[in-house]
Every structure is written in C-alpha cells, then in structure tokens.
Structure 1
Amino acid sequence: MAISSIWYERNKFVFDGVTSQPANIVEAIKSRCREYTKVMKKQGMASKVNVDGSFYSQNGNAACGGIFRDNLGRFVKDFACNLGSYSIMHVELWGIIKGLQIAIDNGYNRIVIESDSMMAINFIKEEYPRHRPCFPLLDDINVLSRRLAYVAWKHILHEANNVVDILARKGQNLPFGHQIFYSSI
C-alpha cells in the first residue's frame, strides 16, 4: 500500500465515513518506513561509529570498544576488545582500526568515526612521521579507510562518548581478541 493509498483510506473515512482496518494502515506505514531505510542505505547515508580506548596503569592492560549506529542514530552493534599491553595512543588507534574492520566486514560503505581523542584524530588527518611508534597503525587506518566510499573523522567530547567508554573498560575483562554484540531488535 503506497503513501497515497494511506491518504486515500484516510479520505474515504473523513469524507465518506468508510472505515478501514487500522492494523492494515499501520502495517502499510511500517512497510514504507522499512523501504525508506533501505533506500537511504543504498543512497549512502553514513553510519556512525563511536570508538574509545581504555588503559589500566596498575596492570598495563589496554582495551578498546565501539558502537555502531545507523543513519537515524539507532543502535546496530557494538564491540569490545582486550588488546593486552599497549600505550593509550595505540589503544585509541586500535579502536578506530577495529571499527573500520567491522564496518568493512558488514558492508558499511559510508561512516563517520567519532573519537574523544583529539590527538588520534589529528594524527589520522595530518602527515605522521614514519619513524614514530604509531605509524604502522596509522598506515593500517589509511589502507582500511580507502576501502570505504566515505569516511569522516570527528572529535567529540569525552562526555558525549560515555557508552563507548564503558565498552572499552568492559574489554579489560574479556579474553584477548574482540567480541561483537548485536541488537536484538
């Protein structure tokens, strides 16, 4: 049932007093919403990936986490990863790498990556010397991001990244490697 059909049913009720089944109209609206979402994905609306890192100085362990949202801001999936022993900058960059890998594996072609690490975002956007310790990770980010049609890098405040901060800390208690959690919706 097209949107025009919904209006047709409404007008039949208003002007002619003929009632339709409300459940049928609601299902038609839901169907159109699903169709609209599919079209928006095909047109390349960007998904959002928030990432963060966690470093525990008492044991030297590092972890990262991230959350994927669709172009309407709805939860899609999240991840957490125990990385072992790394510096905090390495951890922030690993969060971005894991986010890019998951985006590629799941067919996301346009993404906006948000991180509360201004330094990590600046390292990605600017030329970084090859002899620096983070260069291999930045090179991986560059290679992965070229596999996507569109990647935007955005710095956000730590307060706006609380959910991902919790996921990154959760990664501290996971076995090595990453875990992906999906929406049950």
Structure 2
Amino acid sequence: MVDLVSYLLSKLNADLLSLVVVVLHRIWLRRNKFIFDGQFVPPLKVFLEASQLLEDFNRCNLREPFFSVSNDDSSRSCSFWDPPVAGLVKINWDASLNISSAVVGMGCVIRDANGFVLAAKCGVSRAVAEPVCAEAMAALFALEFCNDLGYVNVVSEGDSLQVIKAITDSEYHLHKIGHFLKAINQRANDFSVCKWSHCARDANEVAHLLARRAAFSGLCNVWTENMPLFISSVSFRDLLVSRL
C-alpha cells in the first residue's frame, strides 16, 4: 500500500490525486453497502458519483460571485455530449458574464470522435454584453481557436439556440449580433467542413466550466496536454454517459 501511495504521489498532479482519493473513498462506501446492506453499486456509478462530488466541492469553493449567461431558449432537459463522426472534431463553446468586474468569460473545448480532449481554452473580453452577444463572441472565439490549431473539419456546438439559428438560418434575423455573425461566417469559410449543432446545457458542461473560470479569474488559459481535473473528469464522464 505504501508503494502504491508513493507511486501515485510521484506520477499524479494535485487535481488527479484529489480524484483518486474521492474514488477510493466511494469504493470503500460501496464495499460497506454490499457487506452490511447487501446492495451492489455498479463501478461506473461509483466513478460518476466521485466525479460529481469533487466537482460540487470545487464549485462551492468559488466564493467570488459571477453571473452565468442564461439563454431562455436553451434546453435545460437532461442530455449528454455526443461525439463527432470519425474525421471531424467537435468544439463546444459557452460564455459567462461577470457583471461586477465588467468581464465576459468565454470557454471552448475540442474533442475527437473517441471523446479525447485535444485542446481547451478560456479567455475574456473586457466589456459587458447582453447574453446573446456574449454567446456569439464565444462562438467566434471557438472558431478562431480551432483555426489557430490547424483543424479543418469541425463541428461547432453551443447551447444558445438563438446564436445557432442566426448562423444557420438566413431567414432568422438577429440584428444585435450582426457584426459577430459577419465575422463568424468569414472565419467559417477557412474550414473545409464547418457544421453547427445546438445542444442542451447539460451537454455543454466542460465549455461552461471554462467560461466560468475565465469570468472568475479574468485570465486566459490554453491547454493542449495535461488537462486540469475539471476538464478531464467532466469530459470522461461525458464520454462514459454517451456510451451507456
């Protein structure tokens, strides 16, 4: 046991160690339920509960108030992230508003057909915008990130139905984001394939957490490897749930 702990301490960062500790604790509770109550808990449920518990703990420790973008037209029903078909990558994007700091936080994450996280980014704009404008900014932010990394076949997905409709439906006019739409369409022409997809908020959790992180910290971060726990754990959960 000592050798195992030493090995984990030498190989894992603090975030992954936290996840391991919570998973081990849930395994111990699973063992007790089986021995004393005769209840069998599936291994997948153990991991999902541990991941959710740690995520909730991290959220509770974000003490700074912020305002997350809320779209009245975005579905709140339970859903799950769906991988792209082979040959495409999917980039999910979202935005959050921090009214007190006059900051728009934007987040995006790129995943392949196997659900593997290829890259993620969060950033800010030093201006307060309407929610729909913030979402349009995030859509452009995501396309620019994909283009910078050299991806040419993409599915761009967000939970703002207004923005997705404005981009894909020429009969749907949303003048307040007209200048963003022009930039988005110009950037989309840089790709060989650029498809658009609307999802429920539940299927956009990684991008939401990234946008929230940016709104809270005011910083821009880029990850192309060694993803932090809040990205890797939620992405892994998305992948597991999508395969159920």
- The TM-score normalised by the length of structure 1 is 0.69
Aligned to 1:83: 125
The reply to whether residue 139 of structure 1 matches residue 182 of structure 2 is: yes
| TM alignment of 1:31-50, pairs within 5 A | 45-50=87-92
Aligned match of 1:107 in 127, 136, 150? 150
Bigger radius of gyration: 1
Q: Is the 1:82–1:175 Cα contact (8 Å) retained in structure 2? A: yes
Aligned match of 2:168 in 125, 130, 140? 125
The reply to whether residue 64 of structure 1 matches residue 106 of structure 2 is: yes
Aligned to 2:202: 159
Unaligned runs of 5+ in 1: 1-43
3-state DSSP of counterpart to 1:64: strand
Q: CA deviation at 1:141?
A: 0.4
Q: CA deviation at 1:126?
A: 1.9
Unaligned runs of 5+ in 2: 1-85, 228-244
Q: Is the 1:82–1:174 Cα contact (8 Å) retained in structure 2? A: no
Q: CA deviation at 1:61?
A: 2.7
Q: CA deviation at 1:71?
A: 2.8
Which string of whole-angstrom CA distances, capped at 9 and with x for unpartnered residues, describes residues 77-107 of structure 1? 1111111222211111111111111111111
Structure having the higher strand fraction is: 1
- Residue identity in the other structure for 2:156: I
Q: Is the 2:98–2:216 Cα contact (8 Å) retained in structure 1? A: no
Q: CA deviation at 1:168?
A: 0.4
CA RMSD in angstroms, aligned pairs only: 2.0
Aligned to 1:55: 97
Q: Is the 1:115–1:155 Cα contact (8 Å) retained in structure 2? A: yes
Which string of whole-angstrom CA distances, capped at 9 and with x for unpartnered residues, describes residues 100-123 of structure 1? 111111110100011011111001
Structure having the higher helix fraction is: 2
The reply to whether residue 181 of structure 1 matches residue 223 of structure 2 is: yes
- The TM-score normalised by the length of structure 2 is 0.53
Percent identity of paired positions between Structure 1 and Structure 2: 22
Q: CA deviation at 1:70?
A: 1.8
Alpha-carbon distance in 2 for matches of 1:71, 1:157: 19
3-state DSSP of counterpart to 1:98: helix
